[in-house]
Structures are given as structure tokens and as C-alpha cells.
């Protein structure tokens, strides 16, 4: 196939896949691996990973490698076909999900995916784990299927087991749209006992994460009290709402 014809065929695919195409998808359009290799040598394509190419004129972003890894998980099918799989398909998880959500600062050692079936990759930069996701715990970010923030936090508690690192993720998440506390407690419940809390007490585990993140009520109240303008504003508002309460006496008696 001539280069011009091959590029035209590939454009029909790359325009809907962040400028990317897999060799398997290209093969369905009659573009051979040899054609792809020659187009890459000529500078029309950039080889991102085994069997995944990027249109040289397409703008990349910080998620380009993650997109390429996700495409390679089921290379023959188009992205739009796979998105219809929902929780039954390959979903971005763990630290990869946190990075996609823009929360936390976990190392990007590999691309982390989950799916209902057991599978492995020969590529060290890709990891699959067998998980059955509730459809409620799946969302789309930047066009990619990913665990929700709540499910991501839970997955990190289970996977990396370092609560202080997960607390950083929770703190960042709380600065935007606050995670659903009820759903988080529900998801964390099976992990409570192994983290030193009563069995199924997801609320206790969540409170510990909040303490480590500095987003629990006591820490927030302390920070407000230490800020002169905020402390005075809160005290004035409380006094207005509770005119019969003696704030001076409360302060003198200290916390109960």
C-alpha cells in the first residue's frame, strides 16, 4: 500500500483515538506492519510501545503513555468499542488512576489495570489485577475508563498498604470535589480489620486517613482557631447563633 493511502486509512482511526493506532487495528484497514514501520521511518508515525503508534502531527500529553498501554490491552478493538464494556473491560486502577485524577504524588513505576479476568503481561511496565468492579465505581477521565476517586483511594489502601501515602491522595481529592464519604466507608469496610480497626468499620479507617491527611474536623477546627481572622469570624457567628452561651467561660474551662 502506498504511503498516502495508508496515511488516509490510519487517519480514520487516529482521529478518534488521541492520534493513536495499533498495528492490529491498522491491519483491519489493510495497513500492514511493514507499512507502519516504513511510515515510522519516514517520520509520519511515532512508535510508542510494541504495536502502538502515534500520528507525528498529533499533540501528545502527560497521559500519552497510559493511553498507549490501555490500547495495547485489547489491540484489535477500537477505543469506542471498548468503552462500551464498562466495568467488564480493562479499567485504570491504583497509582495510575490517582495520576489520571490528578491526586497524590505516587511514583509512576508502571501502568496499573484491573479487569474481571485473570491476565498477565510480559511487559514489566504493565500490571493487571483481577477485580470485579461495581459499575458505580467506574468513571471516564480524559476519555479513559478509570476507577472513581473513592474506589481509587480504596484500591491504594489495599495495594500499597502505607496509609500516609494514601492520605496524601485523600487530601488532594478533598481540595476539589470532596469524595463521597458514605461510599468510601462502604468500600473501606472490608479493609478495616487488616489495618488495625474493628471488623467492617470503614468509618474508623476513613477517619484515620483524614487524620493523616489533616482533613479531620479536629485538625480543621484547630487551624481555623489559629487563624486570627477566621477564628474571630467563627466565634462571632457562634455567639450570634447562641446568645445565651458564655464563650469566655467555655474557653476558660477548656475542651471537654
Do residues 121 and 57 share a domain?
no
For residue 6, name the pLDDT band (cuts at 50, 70, 90).
Answer: very high
pLDDT digits (tens, 9 = 90+) for 133-172: 999 999 999 999 999 999 999 999 999 989 999 999 999 9
Do residues 144 and 236 share a domain?
no
CA distances from 154 to 80, 83, 166, 186, 212 (A): 28, 23, 9, 10, 15
Do residues 106 and 44 share a domain?
no
Do residues 104 and 45 share a domain?
no
Q: Domain span at residue 235? A: 228-253
Q: Give me the mean pLDDT over the 21-39 stretch.
A: 97
pLDDT for 246 equals: 58
* 227 pLDDT above the threshold of 90: no
CA–CA distance, 32 with 6 (Å, rounded to integer): 9
Do residues 150 and 198 share a domain?
yes
Do residues 101 and 175 share a domain?
yes
In a domain, 220, yes or no: no
pLDDT for 197 equals: 97
CA distances from 238 to 182, 209, 252 (A): 28, 29, 17
Do residues 13 and 113 share a domain?
no
pLDDT digits (tens, 9 = 90+) for 161-220: 899 999 999 999 999 778 999 999 999 999 999 999 999 999 999 999 999 999 855 555
Closest among 145, 111, 104 to 127, alpha carbons compared: 111
- Positions of E strands within the chain: 20-22, 45-49, 52-55, 91-92, 111-115, 126-130, 138-141, 144-147
What CATH number is attached to the domain comprising 35? Answer: 1.10.10
Do residues 149 and 112 share a domain?
yes
Residue, of 253 and 209, whose pLDDT is higher: 209
In a domain, 74, yes or no: no
The count of domains in the chain is: 3
CA–CA distance, 88 with 201 (Å, rounded to integer): 29
Do residues 186 and 115 share a domain?
yes
pLDDT for 84 equals: 97
Do residues 112 and 187 share a domain?
yes
Bridge partners of residue 37, in order along the sequence: none
Dihedral (Cα; 179, 185, 191, 193), 10-degree rounding: 140
Amino acid at each position: 500500500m502506498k504511503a498516502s493511502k495508508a496515511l488516509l486509512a490510519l487517519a480514520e482511526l487516529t482521529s478518534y483515538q488521541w492520534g493513536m493506532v495499533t498495528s492490529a487495528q491498522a491491519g483491519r484497514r489493510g495497513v500492514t506492519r511493514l507499512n507502519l514501520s516504513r511510515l515510522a521511518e519516514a517520520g509520519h508515525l511515532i512508535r510508542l510501545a510494541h504495536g502502538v503508534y502515534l500520528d507525528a502531527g498529533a499533540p501528545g500529553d502527560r497521559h500519552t503513555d497510559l493511553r498507549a498501554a490501555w490500547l495495547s490491552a485489547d489491540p484489535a478493538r477500537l477505543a469506542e468499542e471498548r468503552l462500551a464494556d464498562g466495568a467488564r473491560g480493562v479499567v485504570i486502577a491504583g497509582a495510575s488512576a490517582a495520576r489520571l485524577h490528578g491526586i497524590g504524588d505516587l511514583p509512576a513505576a508502571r501502568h496499573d489495570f484491573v479487569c474481571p479476568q485473570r491476565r498477565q503481561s510480559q511487559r514489566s511496565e504493565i500490571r493487571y489485577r483481577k477485580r470485579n468492579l461495581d459499575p458505580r465505581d467506574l468513571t471516564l477521565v480524559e476519555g479513559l475508563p478509570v476507577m472513581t476517586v473513592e474506589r481509587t483511594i480504596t484500591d491504594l489502601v489495599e495495594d500499597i498498604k502505607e496509609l500516609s501515602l494514601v492520605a496524601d491522595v485523600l487530601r488532594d481529592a478533598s481540595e476539589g470535589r470532596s469524595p463521597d464519604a458514605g461510599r468510601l466507608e462502604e468500600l473501606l469496610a472490608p479493609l478495616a480489620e487488616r489495618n488495625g480497626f474493628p471488623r467492617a468499620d470503614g468509618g474508623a479507617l476513613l477517619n484515620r486517613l483524614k487524620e493523616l491527611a489533616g482533613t479531620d474536623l479536629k485538625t480543621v477546627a484547630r487551624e481555623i482557631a489559629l487563624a486570627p481572622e477566621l477564628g474571630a469570624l467563627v466565634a462571632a457567628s457562634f455567639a450570634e447563633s447562641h446568645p445565651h452561651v458564655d464563650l469566655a467561660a467555655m474557653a476558660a474551662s477548656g475542651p471537654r
